[in-house]
DNA sequence: TTGAAAGCGCTAACAA
DNA sequence: TTGTTAGCGCTTTCAA
């Protein structure tokens, strides 16, 4: 005989959303027993468990995680926040996928959002995630400084930075060896005998862009090249301006024999310029970032490939370890880039 | 003079996470006043508001949305679930971005996850989202039937299906005009005088694949071609098998003069085969789905482009309308595909 | 093995 | 304009 009154509380509508109380009443057990079953806790007889499970199926009951986490000691929401440059670009979306795979396997859901290189978005998206009490954060820092995150970090909100290291806060980071990758590009071109270079990079206020330029120029200088004379363009933020700049270089009195483009989009612009002018087999090109179809172009495009999937995987594993209580000192993990030889970077300087 | 006892409850640790009660005590107001300020409700004097705001800053307080939604009448969590084929592929990630933009502007966060064409994942991911009480669902159906969602749909959980229409449930859907797009591809090739075709498609159990094949074949038949004789390959699920099949076709006794590849990955395999055999300027190719660099290949690749951003935008707007209470009958929205002429599809049949 | 009571942080309803 | 009380659905604590 059921003694509770809660049956009266069930709306006549059969499509109300049942609570644990409803399940308990239907199964004729206490609410705590339902909780035990739903959370796979021990000390429930097989018969009782079956009875409860049957009631959950009858009512189509689903545990409310948020309500539970409110009272639960660890207060975990089983969700994390992920801030990427842009979920639509291949670099971001590969990271996204790698992270999803790891958290998914642990039953943790991922909120992802795009920053568009906008510091104001960084702030507002982080606020949105914090308000949802995510268990951790993986983010590409864009604001000049991340010191504002210190209070959260001390409150034991784990965070891992990706692609760029944070400033003003000590935390884990996972980044590509940008300087070394660009250095290798320079060495590769120098080995073919090039002496006339051009450098096209994106926003110079972004850490990675600076590192790539430094790496590239350092190697040129080691080879005795006066980098002050190397045509250098920073702030090339879209394909069309990259194309225009490349056209200007190609048509100049002393065109470069080798071009280094420090980023995906920039590479696309340069490729268009080379194709239009028919110089694609005469001027060497190495691009930072691999891209789809790079091997199908004429010539194939030699690139310094990053490994976004690897970055995502490592970041996810670090965050998971932190969530699980890992207290080791924070550290920056460096994911090596890779020179992929396909043709465009092996063109020798014109006689 | 504060009379509450809750100050004792604040841990000595300065890095505890403050509650609304703590803010209220510090500001010397009632908890409901803090709630009013945090939710921008009226009827708070400017002075009080300032005092509360100051306290929130001092404590670094952040409203807990989940706790609030528990009691709030509308029970909204301000989050939605998004199920995509694969967040890493360009089609999915463009949709993802379009949806993010619209929900973000409304303060609604997006849980995204990848299905990998796996019906079991569809079920488990939906369960995960429902357990988090998302306010709505946008999903690419993969399971044979979505009738299992009827209870949730009747409980007033809005949902919009994308890319494919659901089966077994009446709900909004946003899809590409697959049949019409493929039909147009056929017409385009027929107009160049082709009579020997080959068709390569992906998993035939996927609705869109069937529609594309139907559209393509219908147009061929209209032109008097016996489609029973057209070499047709379904279940081409990766680039390498597409390449092998294309190589077989190219090297056969009677090679096709025009190939239609019904999906991105398949197109990549065919392109490789054409390039390897040097037939890229001899055999015509039209692919379904646009891709990066399609214009940079030799020849440029003629495609039937889908508009994933548009699909995402419409789906997001529909879901938002439903969340806001729109009760109109459910409907399927069709996003037109677009023929993009670039060269490969304009190659005439060999003499 | 089971369940009753308290309370997580917040909003609704209502009183002052 | 402000504050008090109850209670959202759940887990914890502790008693049976």
Looking at residues B229-253, what average pLDDT do you find? 96
Summarize pLDDT for A144-181 with one digit per residue, the tens: 999 999 999 999 999 999 999 999 999 999 999 999 99
Do B171 and B250 sit in the same domain of this protein?
no
Strand-pair category, B338-340 with B302-305: antiparallel
Inter-chain touch B111–A109, beta carbons under 8 Å: yes
Residues of chain A with pLDDT > 90, as a percent, come to 93
Q: Which two tokens stand for residue A190?
A: 């120098």
Give the contacts of A90 (CB within 8 A, at least 6 positions apart).
A264, A291, A292, A308, B88, B90, B93
Domains contained in chain A, number:
3
Does the residue A128 lie in any domain?
yes
Full-model pTM: 0.94
Inter-chain touch B96–A113, beta carbons under 8 Å: no
B250: CATH: 3.40.50.2300
Residues with CB under 7 A from strand D: A 17, 19-21, 31-32, 35, 38-39, 63-64, 67-68, 70-74; B 28-33, 36, 42-45, 47-48, 70-71
Structural element, H or E, at residue A280: none
Straight-line distance from CA B322 to C1' C14, in Å? 32
pLDDT band at A5 (very low <50, low <70, confident <90, very high): very low
Q: Which is more confidently placed, A136 or A8? A: A136
Residues A29/A48, Cβ–Cβ less than 8 Å? yes
Strand order in the sheet with A258-261: A232-233, A197-200, A258-261, A284-288, A302-305, A338-340
Does the residue A351 lie in any domain?
no
Residue B16: predicted pLDDT: 87
Does the residue B114 lie in any domain?
yes
Inter-chain touch A155–B15, beta carbons under 8 Å: yes
Summarize pLDDT for A109-121 with one digit per residue, the tens: 999 999 999 999 9
Give the contacts of A169 (CB within 8 A, at least 6 positions apart).
A146, A147, A149, A150, A153
Q: How open is the CA angle A283-A284-A289, to the nearest 5 degrees?
A: 135
> In which residue are the tokens 């990630």 written?
B93
> Which of A86, A155, A293 has its CB closest to that of B97?
A86
CA distance A223 to chain B (A): 34
Do B155 and B296 sit in the same domain of this protein?
no
> Which of B17, B125, B297 has its CB closest to that of A293?
B297
Contacts across the A-B interface (CB distance below 8 Å)? 147
Does the residue B64 lie in any domain?
no
B7, pLDDT greater than 70:
no
pLDDT band at B339 (very low <50, low <70, confident <90, very high): very high
Residue B214: predicted pLDDT: 97
Do A150 and A293 sit in the same domain of this protein?
no
Residue A33: predicted pLDDT: 96
Residue A205: predicted pLDDT: 84
B351, pLDDT greater than 70:
no
Q: Which two tokens stand for residue B245?
A: 């099949």
Looking at beta carbons, which residues of chain B come within 8 Å of A291? 292-293
Summarize pLDDT for B305-327 with one digit per residue, the tens: 999 999 999 999 999 999 999 99
> Which of A79, A88, A107 has its CB closest to that of B94?
A88
pLDDT band at B203 (very low <50, low <70, confident <90, very high): confident
Residue A350: predicted pLDDT: 84
Looking at beta carbons, which residues of chain B come within 8 Å of A92? 93
Do A185 and A276 sit in the same domain of this protein?
yes
Cα distance between residue B239 and residue B271, in whole Å:
10
pLDDT band at B174 (very low <50, low <70, confident <90, very high): very high
Do B282 and B209 sit in the same domain of this protein?
yes
pLDDT band at B304 (very low <50, low <70, confident <90, very high): very high
String of DSSP letters for B23-87: HHHHHTS-HHHHHHHHTT-S---HHHHHHHHHHHHHHT----HHHHHHHSTT---SEEEEEES-T
Residue A7: predicted pLDDT: 38
Does the residue A65 lie in any domain?
no
Summarize pLDDT for A316-344 with one digit per residue, the tens: 999 999 999 999 999 999 999 999 999 99
Looking at beta carbons, which residues of chain B come within 8 Å of A130? 62
> Which of A15, A104, A113 has its CB closest to that of B104?
A113
Do A300 and A182 sit in the same domain of this protein?
yes
- Looking at A31, A59, A87, the residue that finishes a domain is A59
Does the residue B2 lie in any domain?
no
A61, pLDDT greater than 90:
yes
Do B192 and B103 sit in the same domain of this protein?
no
Cα distance between residue B214 and residue B186, in whole Å:
11
Do A251 and A280 sit in the same domain of this protein?
yes
- Interface probe for A, chosen from B96, B289, B311 (most Cβ of A below 10 Å), is B96
Query: How many other C-beta atoms are found inside a 10 Å radius of the C-beta of residue B263?
Result: 22
Residue A11: predicted pLDDT: 40
B23 closest-nt by C1' vs CA: C9
Do B182 and B303 sit in the same domain of this protein?
yes
- Least Cα distance to B142 among B124, B174, B116 occurs for B116
- The sign one gets for the Cα dihedral A29, A30, A31, A34 is negative
Cα distance between residue B143 and residue B121, in whole Å:
9
Looking at beta carbons, which residues of chain B come within 8 Å of A79? 111, 132
The gap between the terminal CA atoms of chain B, to the nearest Å, is 98
- Least Cα distance to A278 among A303, A255, A261, A305 occurs for A255
Does the residue B19 lie in any domain?
yes
A16: CATH: 1.10.260.40
A14, pLDDT greater than 60:
no
Give the contacts of A133 (CB within 8 A, at least 6 positions apart).
A69, A75, A77, B64, B65, B66
Q: Which two tokens stand for residue A188?
A: 């590769």
Straight-line distance from CA B30 to C1' D5, in Å? 12
Do B204 and B301 sit in the same domain of this protein?
yes
Domain span including residue B273: 178-307+338-346
Looking at residues B160-178, what average pLDDT do you find? 97
Looking at residues B36-54, what average pLDDT do you find? 95
Residue A317: predicted pLDDT: 98
Looking at residues A263-288, what average pLDDT do you find? 96
Do A165 and A98 sit in the same domain of this protein?
yes
Summarize pLDDT for B96-147 with one digit per residue, the tens: 999 999 999 999 999 999 999 999 999 999 999 999 999 999 999 999 999 9
Does the residue B297 lie in any domain?
yes
A8, pLDDT greater than 50:
no
The 3-state DSSP composition of chain B as helix, strand, coil percent (nearest 5) reads: 45, 15, 40
CA distances from B153 to A23, B68, B169 (A): 21, 24, 9
Closest CA-bearing residue to C1' of C4: A30
Count of H helices and E strands in chain B?
Answer: 12, 12
Residue B84's DSSP bridge partners are B114
Inter-chain touch B296–A133, beta carbons under 8 Å: no
Do B212 and B342 sit in the same domain of this protein?
yes
């Amino acid at each position: 005989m059921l003694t509770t009154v809660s049956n009266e509380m069930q709306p006549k509508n059969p499509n109300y959303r049942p609570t644990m109380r409803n399940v308990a009443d239907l199964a004729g057990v206490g609410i705590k027993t339902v909780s035990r079953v739903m959370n796979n806790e021990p000390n429930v007889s097989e018969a009782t468990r079956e009875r409860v499970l049957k009631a959950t199926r009858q009512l189509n009951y689903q545990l409310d995680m948020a309500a539970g986490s409110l009272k639960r000691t660890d207060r975990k929401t089983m969700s994390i926040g992920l801030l990427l440059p842009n979920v639509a670009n291949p670099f971001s979306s590969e990271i996204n996928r790698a992270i999803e795979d790891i958290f998914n396997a642990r039953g943790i859901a991922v909120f992802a959002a795009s920053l568009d290189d906008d510091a104001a978005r960084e702030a507002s998206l982080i606020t949105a995630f914090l308000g949802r009490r995510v268990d951790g954060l993986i983010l590409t820092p864009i604001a000049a400084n991340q010191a504002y995150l210190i209070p959260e970090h001390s409150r034991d909100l784990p965070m891992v930075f990706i692609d760029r290291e944070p400033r003003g806060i000590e935390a884990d980071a996972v980044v590509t060896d940008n300087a070394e990758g660009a250095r290798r590009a320079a060495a590769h071109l120098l080995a073919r005998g090039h002496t006339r270079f051009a450098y096209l990079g994106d926003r110079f206020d972004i850490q990675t862009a600076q590192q790539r330029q430094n790496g590239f120029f350092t190697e040129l200088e080691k080879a005795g090249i006066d980098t002050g004379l190397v045509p250098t363009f920073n702030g090339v933020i879209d394909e069309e301006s990259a194309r225009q700049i490349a056209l200007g270089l190609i048509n100049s009195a002393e065109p470069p024999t080798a071009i280094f483009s420090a980023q995906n989009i920039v590479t696309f612009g340069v490729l268009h310029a080379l194709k239009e002018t028919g110089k694609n087999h005469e001027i060497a090109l190495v691009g930072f970032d691999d891209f789809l179809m790079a091997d199908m172009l004429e010539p194939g495009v030699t690139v310094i490939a990053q490994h976004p999937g690897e970055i995502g995987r490592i970041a996810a594993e670090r965050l998971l370890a932190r969530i699980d209580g890992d207290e080791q000192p924070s550290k920056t993990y460096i994911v090596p880039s890779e020179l992929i030889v396909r043709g465009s970077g092996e063109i020798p300087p014109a006689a």
